[in-house]
């Protein structure tokens, strides 16, 4: 029987379940119910069971899910049982912060290559890695078998850099530039724009002030 296609919204919720289960494990819980997970994440228990059913049956009715067992299954499903080498494009203030963020390595994501268009930064060694010129992307990305890139460069340069990365074999881009990238269907992009998120919240704060 062919596996049902998994909607992207389900994949996004899987990451939430995974992190909730990590919290349960750290609290010493061995078993957790879909009801309890739902309360932690503001998701219905039925939705959790439906999402997990795409990948098989993991819990027992009336008992719940074994936390360690479900964590291992989700790690495998999400591809977290291996280490993923990543490229960081743009070594400005944001790029430096991303480079020093230890959470990536804890979850199996390792920045192994740095690129920048600024000739004053090219050749510098940061956290043991040499900053390469953008022109070296076509050579080094395939050589290092990199499939994921972090893009932290100005808006006007983002699409050109994304095109170069995709041609070199990158299939997933975490984009911090405030621009929508045009990519092929088999390339995944996640937009990371903290300013846009703040602006969407201040809309409601401003509206509340205007309410009599």
pLDDT at residue 26, rounded to an integer: 95
Average the pLDDT over 181-198 and give the result.
Answer: 92
Beta-strand pair 109-116/125-126: unpaired
CATH number, domain containing residue 29 = 1.10.10.10
| 95 and 191 belong to one structural domain | yes
What's the pTM? 0.88
What is the spatial distance between Cα 159 and Cα 180, in angstroms, rounded to a whole number? 8
Residue 212 lies in a domain: no
| 68 and 88 belong to one structural domain | no
Average the pLDDT over 124-131 and give the result.
Answer: 96
| 35 and 104 belong to one structural domain | no
The residue range of the domain holding 41 is 8-77
CATH number, domain containing residue 130 = 3.40.50.720
Q: Which residues of 139-155 are buried (b: 16+ CB within 10 A; e: fewer)?
A: ebbeeeebebbbbbbee
| 181 and 103 belong to one structural domain | yes
| 174 and 94 belong to one structural domain | yes
| 54 and 157 belong to one structural domain | no
Alpha carbon separation from 82 to 6, 58, 105, 110, 133 (Å, rounded): 21, 22, 11, 11, 28
Residue 202 lies in a domain: no
CA 154 from centroid of its chain's CA atoms: 20
pLDDT at residue 212, rounded to an integer: 63
| 32 and 128 belong to one structural domain | no
| 14 and 66 belong to one structural domain | yes
Boundary of a domain, candidates 26, 46, 77: 77
| 88 and 66 belong to one structural domain | no
Q: Please say whether the beta carbons of 172 and 147 come within 8 A.
A: yes
| 103 and 192 belong to one structural domain | yes
* Tokens representing residue 98 in the block: 């991303």
| 65 and 91 belong to one structural domain | no
Predicted confidence (pLDDT) per residue in 22-81, tens digit = 999 999 999 999 999 999 999 999 999 999 999 987 767 668 899 999 999 999 999 999
Average the pLDDT over 108-133 and give the result.
Answer: 96
Structural domain count, the chain: 2
Q: Above 60 in pLDDT, residue 2?
A: no
Q: Above 60 in pLDDT, residue 144?
A: yes
Residue 88 lies in a domain: yes
Boundary of a domain, candidates 50, 77, 104: 77
Q: Is 114 exposed, middle or buried (0-12, 13-18, 19+ CB in 10 A)?
A: buried
């Amino acid at each position: 029987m062919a596996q049902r296609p998994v909607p992207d919204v389900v994949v996004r919720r899987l990451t939430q379940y995974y992190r909730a289960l990590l919290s349960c494990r750290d609290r010493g819980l061995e078993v957790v119910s879909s009801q309890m997970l739902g309360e932690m994440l503001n998701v219905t228990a039925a939705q959790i069971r439906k999402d997990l059913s795409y990948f098989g049956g993991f819990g027992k009715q009336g008992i719940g899910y074994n936390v360690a067992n479900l964590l291992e299954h989700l790690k495998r499903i999400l591809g977290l049982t291996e280490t993923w080498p990543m490229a960081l494009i743009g070594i400005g203030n944001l790029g430096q912060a991303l480079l020093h963020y230890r959470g990536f390595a804890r979850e199996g994501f390792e920045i192994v290559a740095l690129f920048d268009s600024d000739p004053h930064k090219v050749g510098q060694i940061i956290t043991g890695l040499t900053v390469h010129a953008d022109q070296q992307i076509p050579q080094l990305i395939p050589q290092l078998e990199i499939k994921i890139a972090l893009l932290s460069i100005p808006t006007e340069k983002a699409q050109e850099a994304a095109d170069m990365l995709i041609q070199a074999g990158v299939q997933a881009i975490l984009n911090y530039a405030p621009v929508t990238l045009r990519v092929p269907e088999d390339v995944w992009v996640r937009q990371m724009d903290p300013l846009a998120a703040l602006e969407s919240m201040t809309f409601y704060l401003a509206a509340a002030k205007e309410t009599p």
